[in-house]
Amino acid sequence: MKYFVSGSKSIFSLPESVIEVIDFFISLEAEFLVGDCYGVDAAVQKYLESKGYTNVTIYCSGESPRNNFVTGAKVHSCAEAAKGLTGSAFHYVKDIQMANDCDVALVIWDGKSKGSEKNIHRILDLNKKHNFFINGSLLWV
C-alpha cells in the first residue's frame, strides 16, 4: 500500500492525531510517498527517520530532493515531466505524480495553502481513499 502524505508549508510539527495515523500506516508496512518541501513534508520525513522507518520514497520535481531526512529513502525525480515549468507549476508535477501513484492520501492543511488545497481536489477527483487534517480536525473518509 502506498500512502501519500502532504501538507502546508506553514506547519512544522505534526499534531498527535496525525502521528497516530502515520503510526497506523507504519504498522501496515505502507510505503510513504512524501514531497521534498519544508513544512509538513520535512516534518513527516523527520518523524519517519526518528522511527527508523525506511519504506519511504521522496518525490521531487528537480533532479534531486531539496530535503531528504530519511536515511535509505528512495528518490523519485519528476524532472523530465517538470522540464520547462517554473514557479508552482514546477512543484505541482511531483504532487500530481504522488496523487496518481498512491492508494491512500493524508493532507494536513492549514486552510490557506493553495498547494495543499489542490492536493485535496486531486485526491477527490481521483476518487482515492483519504484522510484530511484541516485546521485541527482529522476527517476520515
d(CA 62, CA 1): 25
pLDDT > 80? residue 80: yes
Task: Compute the average pLDDT of residues 96-101.
Answer: 98
Q: Residue 136: what pLDDT?
A: 76
Q: Residue 140: what pLDDT?
A: 62
- Name beta bridge partners: 60: 77
Q: Residue 42: what pLDDT?
A: 98
Q: 73-77, 105-109, 135-139 — which is least confidently predicted?
A: 135-139
Task: Compute the average pLDDT of residues 49-54.
Answer: 98
- Burial pattern 100-123, b for ≥16 Cβ within 10 A else e, equals eebebbbbbbbeebebbbbbbebb
DSSP β-ladder status, 129-134 and 31-34: unpaired
Secondary structure class of 139 (helix, strand, coil): strand
Contact indicator for 5, 120 with CB cutoff of 8 Å: no
Q: Confidence class of residue 24 from pLDDT cuts 50, 70 and 90? A: very high
Task: Compute the average pLDDT of residues 76-94.
Answer: 94
Contacts of 107 (CB under 8 A, 6+ apart): 6, 7, 116, 119, 120, 123, 130, 131, 132, 133
As a whole-number percent, the residues of the chain with pLDDT over 90 amount to: 91
pLDDT > 70? residue 97: yes
Q: Return left, alpha or beta for 105; rule: phi > 0 is left, psi -120 to 50 is alpha, else beta.
A: beta
Query: With a threshold of 0.85, does the pTM exceed it?
Result: yes
Contacts of 123 (CB under 8 A, 6+ apart): 4, 99, 105, 107, 130
Task: Compute the average pLDDT of residues 50-58.
Answer: 98
- Name beta bridge partners: 27: none
